Structure 1
């Protein structure tokens, strides 16, 4: 069989491919400017040629041990380039919840390009190992180093270790079952999730991109300091954290069927929809993307929502069914349907209503500005995320003005929140140097304007919503959250800090079992026995904050 790569091949090309791959990975994983790619590649080539790599007379037909570790590093670099921060929790959850009707066609093209580059790298590295005995000697050590240093391998190891942690119930012991009581003349609820529109954009370096949201906040309560803890950094995780009071820990590794499609989403906890439906609320969810993606439809149907509308339900109703983007409906169309849904619910007069809405304009990496925004803001370059942020903010303000003019927001609590911090976008290098937090604001007849600065997280939005609606939860707590309207009760982050909570999340498995009760094995008898009596705290500093919970 003829050899495709001969010993006489010049080392220039394979060394260039390896050097370019190394330098590209460095620029993706750090905040170094793009031009350092050429600097690092040049340094690599100079050193390679100086040491005469690939010119050894010794040739051996061998397969490197490093091929698989290189592929795993390539996967990690691809994920980091796509999302900025690689969240293994999101990877596991989407594998199980499903990625049907996803809108990442642009990233699919990038995946093909990455695959071609990885094949080139594997061929180049194999050529080098076969043509240089010095590299053959150290190559097994390189393979080990690539495995040990890969964050994917490290993260999977941490999650696997959590299954056998001696005490994996620290967070579960702080979970408070949400309970509310009926009230007279309950308010309606409009909850707007603005995709990836974090409050960090309210900064002079981003111009007026956030200005319309700032204007909305002048009429209500604006919360600063709503951080992103682990397992709340993607859309479903952000919505579940803010409606159920708990981070979304995937069901994987809990049972032998961990990668079968989910039939239900977090069935073990009571969420906002469960509580409000029991109080007679008529609940609707509207989102521009498909409800099949990431289990959104399952979650809302399982937790008390009567109507769940996504791409498949709404696209046929468009005047122009082709006016859609990769993910789904543009926000101007979505808000038109939202107004019609609120008009319908309000006209029925069969009790209070609740509407949850998820936009798409701010979706990374570039956003999807609607036609109404282009007519208002002028031509879009297809890359500038600040253009899309401004579009999302203006459309939200316009929606509230339309509803107010029609008298549809009387006796209504309006909540505006980002679902999570944005992923890699055109201003990523600026964002990652800042103290980032999520958007969260409340408007209503009994909510006087005020700026509230608290160290909080998305789980605190859940009890805050209940409190704002007049359903004050016991001790201002629900799930793992604390009402941010209660200045006396400290949040988890105020008591323990962001780093400590994230560390606890990596060790937790009892709360994970609670979320997926019925899909996962029952809690260990020891855990059940411990929960029947007084809880054991880890340190004396925890004692004052420990909550006694019985099942």
Structure 2
């Protein structure tokens, strides 16, 4: 029994290390938006995120190995001392009692520490806020949502093509204060200029005062859903958004932009530099507009990249834009109108992907990645 008690203390010690590492990882290495994001990601396809998982697991052992080794050595030492004292019989009774008391104290201390740090992790995930939000109702749909099924939508006789670029983790905060941003030197001067010389949706013509992000719209697939469906990606009913199986339904009773365009005779296309299955993106685009999908895997088939090529989440934006130009040149030759949606990836948190031709204007790598994406997107638009 006492060996079992000592073993339980080792398990509690390892659990404490996991909790401490999780607190570090989710605050320093990942941009955690909400507990809903955690739930959604856990119940969806993880294709394409293998490098992230291996990085997380590997980082645990790299960061915690001294403490893990110390715990194992202490466990082995106490176990050896216990077994040695047990053999001495009566002469070792006093030491045995002290050891047993120490075992119980160790278990109690580790249990308390797990409780304290576990509660901190609980608060960091925002589980209490998530549970509270589940009990609330919203007037979003009654007062603000325009249902495409009952709303009159008119298209011109000659329909225009749409090229829709979703910029990963990009926001107006990266501009300088004069443009409504928060950086002393703008990270997105070219996108700012592009916006102001054309049509943007700021209420102030001098600044880029972008929109706020309501709950369940702040991670990639949730942002995609919010932009093209007009609703947050709520995860209360997993039957309608999870991706364990290919036939899983993605919000089947909501009409999205792709559905509307398909009904109007558009051909829909989606391109990304990672695997489209990740987070249910393939299901979303195929089920809402019958999109033709281009991703990391099709890029290998189309010989855009070598078969063994893999960087970041699959391939970087430099190759993504080259792939898009190639496909758009062919798509544009056809007579029917088209919608070509693409998702960049270099600016994905944390750190981003710094390609060889990125500038080195800032000390922080992520700032250089943002500035690089600013240029690449603008050049692609031109």
Shared fold, TM over 0.5: yes
Matches within 5 A, 1:138-537: 142-151=113-122, 155-160=126-131, 165=135, 168=137, 170-174=139-143, 175-178=145-148, 179=151, 180-203=153-176, 205=183, 207-222=185-200, 223=202, 224-251=209-236, 260-261=244-245, 263-318=248-303, 320-321=305-306, 324-350=310-336, 352-371=337-356, 373-374=357-358, 377=359, 384-401=365-382
- Mapped contact 1:66–1:143 kept (Cα < 8 A): yes
Deviation at 1:146, TM superposition (A): 3.8
| Preserved CA contact (<8 Å) 2:275 2:297 | yes
> Shift of residue 137 of structure 1?
6.6
**Higher normalized contact order (CA 8 Å, seq sep 6+, divided by chain length):** 1
Partners in 2 of 1:140 and 1:109 — Cα distance?
Answer: 26
1:347 aligns to what SS in structure 2?
Answer: coil
Q: Deviations over 1:31-87 (max 9, x none)?
A: xxxxxxxxxxxxxxxxxxxxxxxxxxxxx9584596556644542332222214353
Q: Distance in 1 between matches of 2:243 and 2:59?
A: 26
CA distance in 2, matches of 1:388, 1:258: 31
After superposition, where does 1:44-193 map in structure 2 within 5 Å?
61=6, 63=8, 67=13, 68=15, 71-85=18-32, 87-102=34-49, 103-104=51-52, 105-114=54-63, 116=65, 119=68, 131=102, 142-151=113-122, 155-160=126-131, 165=135, 168=137, 170-174=139-143, 175-178=145-148, 179=151, 180-193=153-166
Instruction: Give the distance between the partners of 1:369 and 1:278, measured in 2 at CA.
Output: 40
Cα distance in 2, alignment partners of residues 143 and 370 from structure 1: 41
Q: Which has the higher helix share?
A: 2
- TM-score normalised by L of structure 1: 0.53
Cα distance change of structure 1 residues 92 and 139 upon mapping to structure 2, 3 Å threshold:
closer
| CA shift for structure 1 position 208 | 4.7
So what's the TM-score if we normalise by structure 2?
A: 0.73
Give, in whole Å, the separation in 2 of the partners of 1:172 and 1:63: 51
SS at the partner of 1:197?
coil
**Preserved contact between residue 66 and residue 142 of structure 1 (Cα < 8 Å):** no
* C-alpha distance in structure 2 between counterparts of 1:396 and 1:274, whole Å: 26
Bigger share in strand: 1
SS at match of 1:286: strand
Query: CA 1:96 to 1:118, structure 2 compared with 1: closer, same or farther past 3 Å?
Result: farther
- The Cα of 1:320 is off from its aligned counterpart by 4.7
Q: How far, CA to CA, are the matches of 2:236 and 2:55 in structure 1?
A: 29
Corresponding residue SS for 2:249: coil
Check conservation: 1:101, 1:290, Cα contact below 8 A: yes
